[in-house]
Amino acid sequence: MASGTEHTLTLDTINPHLKIVKYALRGPIPIRAAEIEKELKKGVEKPFKEVIKLNIGDGQAMGQRPITFIRQILALVTYPRLLNNDHFPKDTKERARAVLEACKGRSIGSYSESVGIEVIRKQVALYIKERDGGIACDWNNIVLCSGACDGIRNIIKLMKCEVDGKKPGIMIPVPQFPLYAALLTEFDIERIDYYLDETNNWALDISELQEVIDEARKVCHPRALVVMNPGNPTGQVLPRENIEDIIKFAYKEKLFIIADEVYQLNVYGEGSKFFSFKKVMMELGAPYSKMELASFMSCSKGYMGECGLRGGYSEIVNFNPEAKAVYLKSISTKLSPTGLGQTCMYAVVHPPKKGEPSFDEFMTEKNALDEEFKLKAKITELKLNAIEGIKCNPVQGAIYAFPQIILPQKFIEAAKNKGKVPDAIYSMELLENTGICVIPGSGFGQAPGTYHFRMTILAPTEKLKQVLDKIKKFHEDLYEKYN
């Protein structure tokens, strides 16, 4: 642009809601971590040799092994000449051919339908039916998306509409995955925070929901309830009784349920079991089985860890036909989800069965990852709780720990005197002194007067132990300095 020419887009003329969006997972601490990595490459002296990124749930970035079965199908659809290669098992070729035959021009590089490739949507429906013990699933209610985040965005933006002259509101948990707060800010929807009970392993208290919604009705019209199961960042798995109570509350308050179930394959806690909201809703029978629901799944988590492929699905249940038509129209503006992401989701929901050539290798790889996750969840819980001034609830599911850090009063005062949040200062100092990158609890929301950080359990087991030992030493040194 020529010198002196005014810009059309400036801070004063850009969407005001985007200016105030916050997203802790890509905030100042991860940005500083990336800068430190560059400094290390240039030979800058640090008290550590590498940055260990425990800030985001990217399994393969932390060394998680891709599943051979999934990668073989991806290779075959990307380069179909490999279908003539004897190296690839018969079952992977059959699945790859099924995908390619459903693609325009038999190419994964072509646009699909905006809701996704039909054969994959039908397979997702079969997966859900089997997962939920035989409860019917209509494939016409399956919408494939470029990661669960994309599917969640498509549902939340439907809620942006005043009702009875009041601004819409959506209930979200605290602590919560920062995507929800960011989307509500972007769409100018009232954020209705409800607190999870940390003293009761992050349980969802119905009396808390009731108190919060009664207060919210004074300023907005609550339209939906977001529930994460298993929880992110909190790692809890909701018991069935709690899910039933939540559904009954949502029915009483006429709330649409947004069920974030992307960690449904990450359940480790003894006695913990995943129940989908749809399953419980249907088994409760009428009137609950007639409620509106959208649930989400992704190939980024679980044993798959295929974050970069951006594959996921939404299941929409009991939608008003006219509202569904508008929803589908809004999705069509994006043309189609990524072809490779859809293919990955197909591999996830259509794994090899006993007797198929890929079965033994698949089960060996999957079981090894599941056992490693379970071990690391327990190690993380035990090692964090062994540190004076840190308390960590059991990591029952998902891939994170969200420990509470009890900070010295002098440290808290020093941080506040600088105009900073204490757990943000703590996390930044942890990074600068150890190379360990975590996200402060303030980025997810937390009860007033408490401080936390979120860390993933994705590092290899031995490295994870070393990381936890470094956190212990850092925390003890901080106590000694400020006490």
User: Which pLDDT tens digit goes with each residue over 112-127?
Assistant: 998 999 999 999 999 9
CA distances from 48 to 39, 40, 428 (A): 12, 9, 15
Q: What is the mean pLDDT of the chain?
A: 92
Mean pLDDT on 359-369: 96
The pairing of strands 190-195 and 142-145 is unpaired
Mean pLDDT on 55-66: 89
User: Which pLDDT tens digit goes with each residue over 180-194?
Assistant: 988 998 888 999 999
Q: Any long-range contacts for 58-63 (C-beta under 8 Å, 24+ apart)?
A: 58/305, 58/307, 58/458, 59/301, 59/305, 59/307, 59/399, 59/458, 60/305, 60/306, 60/307, 60/308, 61/307, 62/456, 62/458, 62/459, 62/460, 63/459, 63/460
Co-location of 211 and 117 in the same domain: yes
**Position 214 in a domain:** yes
**Position 5 in a domain:** no
Count of structural domains within the chain: 2
The pairing of strands 312-317 and 293-298 is antiparallel
Whether 413 shows a pLDDT value over 60: the answer reads: yes
Co-location of 20 and 106 in the same domain: no
> What tokens were used for 93?
């070729």
Whether 18 shows a pLDDT value over 70: the answer reads: no
In CATH, what number is assigned to the domain containing residue 109?
A: 3.40.640.10
Domain end call among 349, 377, 399: 349
Whether 315 shows a pLDDT value over 80: the answer reads: yes
CA distances from 23 to 86, 230, 252, 299, 449 (A): 47, 21, 32, 22, 22
**Residue spans of alpha helices (H) in 276-434:** 277-284, 321-332, 339-349, 359-385, 409-417, 422-434
Co-location of 288 and 143 in the same domain: yes
For residue 181, give its domain range. 101-349
Q: Which of 192, 205, 211, 199 is nearest to 238 (CA)?
A: 205
pTM of the model: 0.90
Co-location of 268 and 413 in the same domain: no
Range of lowest pLDDT (26-35, 118-127, 316-325, 359-368): 26-35
**Position 440 in a domain:** yes
**Position 74 in a domain:** no
Report how far residue 268's alpha carbon sits from residue 394's, in angstroms, rounded to the nearest whole number: 10
Whether residue 30 is preceded by a cis peptide bond, meaning omega within 30 degrees of 0, is: no
List, in order, residues 6 or more apart from 354 with CB less than 8 Å away.
Answer: none
Domain end call among 349, 377, 410: 349
User: Which pLDDT tens digit goes with each residue over 422-474?
Assistant: 999 999 999 999 999 999 998 898 988 999 999 999 999 999 999 999 999 99
Report how far residue 404's alpha carbon sits from residue 301's, in angstroms, rounded to the nearest whole number: 24
Whether 385 shows a pLDDT value over 90: the answer reads: yes
**Position 80 in a domain:** no
Co-location of 58 and 142 in the same domain: no
Residue type, 481: K
Residue 322, Cβ density class (10 Å: 0-12 exposed, 13-18 middle, ≥19 buried):
exposed
**Position 298 in a domain:** yes
**Position 306 in a domain:** yes
DSSP H/E element including 222: strand 221-228
Co-location of 453 and 475 in the same domain: yes
Mean pLDDT on 389-398: 94
List, in order, residues 6 or more apart from 121 with CB less than 8 Å away.
Answer: 115, 139, 140, 142, 143, 144, 313
In CATH, what number is assigned to the domain containing residue 463?
A: 3.90.1150.10
Position 2 scores a pLDDT of 45
Position 333 scores a pLDDT of 82
Position 56 scores a pLDDT of 85
Residue 82: CA count within 13 A, CB half-sphere: 18
Co-location of 268 and 220 in the same domain: yes
